Structure 1
Amino acid sequence: MSDETVATVDDTGLVTGVGAGTATITAESFGVSATCIVRVKG
């Protein structure tokens, strides 16, 4: 998680927006990774 003032990720992978801005989330499992950009308006 690039910015926890924008969004958080819990142990189950649920993403929750917490403040306006943009954050990058990267997940990795078994050597495979994926990245997602999350934008929170507000």
Structure 2
Amino acid sequence: QCYDDGGYEDFIDYRQPPPVALSPEEAAWVDGLLKGKGLRN
């Protein structure tokens, strides 16, 4: 609920990689998660 009420989707561009370095495995997991939620193509 905090995410929904906080308007984070207006401040975070989920189409871009995160500002922190992730391992290839973590990056693949994040990419799949965001694609599954329709936040990335």
Q: TM-score range by the shorter chain?
A: under 0.3
Task: Identify which of structures 1 and 2 has the higher relative contact order when contacts are C-alpha pairs closer than 8 Å and 6+ apart.
Answer: 2
Using the size of structure 1 for normalisation, the TM-score is: 0.22
Q: Which has the higher strand share?
A: 1
Using the size of structure 2 for normalisation, the TM-score is: 0.22
Q: Which has the higher helix share?
A: 2
